[in-house]
Amino acid sequence: MITIVDYGSGNIEAFVNIYKRLNIPCEIASTPEQILKAEKLILPGVGAFDETMRILKDSGILNALNKQVLENKTPVIGICVGMQILSKRSDEGQLKGLGWVDAEVKKFDTAKLIQKPHLPHMGWNTFQHEKNNPLLKGLNPEKGFYFLHTYYFSCNNQEDVLTSTVYGERYTSAINHENIYGVQFHPEKSHSNGVQLLKNFANL
């Protein structure tokens, strides 16, 4: 069972529709009790870093997430801002992140960007495998994924980096640390590659 965490951030129905087409059971969770029963967790994310962290705290589900992910080692994947909050901090906000991964979130250096408008990084882009992982099975790097972001995830441990993407400079676009995964792109908007990635996560 895939549990999609509903904290008011992200197009949750898009994930539900994909898993329905794949005949993979999924549910939407918005309470600590639901999260503590989860077998796999998805943290969708559309919005700002501080706003997302504040909602997690105010909703009462933060402690349940920490218990499931850090103590019970439940597989989790953060998407876009849902990935960025896995870090310790962000240039975008003042609040601390979840700190599940040794990383910071940084803003793109516009001096290195040729394409205009410079930010956000929006649209389709390719990726490069940095290491093998079951999450990446069957993905086509040249088809790429759909991106929409102004800040990027910067790992302090290169071993956590799964894929990289170039936008002005090469940056991390997918990560894995133990049972924790994150992708900067939007698989729910990325056609066949996105469907395959969500299927791969369900099969971990």
**C-alpha span between 5 and 58 (Å, rounded):** 14
Name the catalytic one among 71, 159, 186, 191.
Answer: 186
Compute the distance between CA of residue 197 and CA of residue 138 in angstroms, rounded to an integer. 8
Q: Active site includes 186?
A: yes
Active-site residue, selected from the candidate residues 26, 80, 92, 177: 80
Q: In sequence order, what are the residues at sequence separation of 6 or more whose Cβ sits closer than 8 angstroms to the Cβ of residue 159?
A: 131
Q: Is 39 one of the catalytic residues?
A: no
DSSP 71: I
H helix runs in the chain, sequence order: 12-21, 32-35, 49-59, 62-66, 81-84, 191-202
Query: Catalytic pick from 71, 155, 188, 191?
Result: 188
Active site includes 188?
Answer: yes
Point out the residues that are catalytic. 80, 186, 188
